[in-house]
């Protein structure tokens, strides 16, 4: 008989990603300060002690959850010529993404802010800047982050349909213009 594949390693990876998904949802919904290890563990269907064995502290769990949301596919998989349109569509459909909600809802907390700042520099900004290419790649990446974050903050607060839709059109144009600066002839 063939031996069964060793279950431990696969289960560990699955448990880890289940915890990260639960953490992303909770941090997005409640922000860093108000999200609790106990609720995250319950949502991931693991014991709080197991969660802490995997991630050590709430700060570390937040950092890992942010990092994995930043690296998730979807953001950079589209053609450059359709970037603005696709991003506006994404924001229209989802209304919000866990990543942006985590950033916005947690930016009032000093501990979370330090983590956000570090990851923004090393991951979000650098990744986006690399994808954009010259000129001024980092400044243009920053402008894209500014537009995303601002939109998410205000569209929670101003859910008026015709206004939101008009604003999304502007967002799509403005995002695309940022990308096109790096593509001679596209602008």
Site residues (CB under 8 A) for a copy of itself? 30-34, 103-109, 113, 116-117, 120-121, 125, 136, 138-140, 142-143, 145-151, 153-154, 156-158, 160, 162-164, 166-167, 170-171, 174, 178
Smallest distance from the beta carbon of 38 to a copy of itself, in angstroms?
19
Smallest distance from the beta carbon of 48 to a copy of itself, in angstroms?
23
Nearer to a copy of itself, 46 or 129 (CB): 129
Nearer to a copy of itself, 22 or 175 (CB): 175
Nearer to a copy of itself, 89 or 149 (CB): 149
Smallest distance from the beta carbon of 71 to a copy of itself, in angstroms?
18
- Largest separation between any pair of C-alpha atoms in the chain: 66
Nearer to a copy of itself, 44 or 178 (CB): 178
Alpha helices in the chain (DSSP H): 7-34, 37-44, 48-55, 58-70, 83-94, 98-106, 110-119, 126-132, 137-157, 161-180
SS3 (DSSP) at 182: coil
| Residue 116 tokens, joined | 């956000």
CA 145 to chain centroid, in Å, comes to 11
């Amino acid at each position: 008989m063939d031996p069964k594949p060793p279950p431990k390693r696969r289960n560990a990876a699955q448990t880890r990603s289940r915890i990260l998904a639960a953490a992303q949802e909770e941090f997005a919904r409640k922000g860093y300060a108000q999200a609790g290890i106990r609720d995250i563990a319950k949502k991931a269907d693991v014991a709080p002690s197991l969660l802490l064995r995997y991630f050590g502290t709430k700060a570390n769990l937040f950092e890992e959850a942010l990092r994995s949301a930043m690296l998730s596919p979807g953001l950079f998989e589209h053609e450059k010529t359709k970037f603005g349109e696709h991003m506006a569509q994404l924001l229209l459909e989802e209304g919000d993404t866990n990543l942006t909600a985590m950033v916005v809802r947690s930016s009032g907390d000093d501990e979370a802010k330090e983590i956000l700042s570090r990851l923004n520099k090393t991951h979000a900004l650098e990744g986006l800047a690399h994808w954009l290419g010259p000129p001024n790649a980092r400044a243009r990446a920053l402008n894209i982050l500014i537009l995303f974050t601002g939109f998410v903050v205000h569209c929670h607060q101003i859910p008026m349909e015709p206004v939101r839709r008009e604003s999304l059109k502007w967002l799509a144009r403005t995002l695309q213009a940022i990308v096109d600066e790096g593509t001679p002839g596209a602008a």
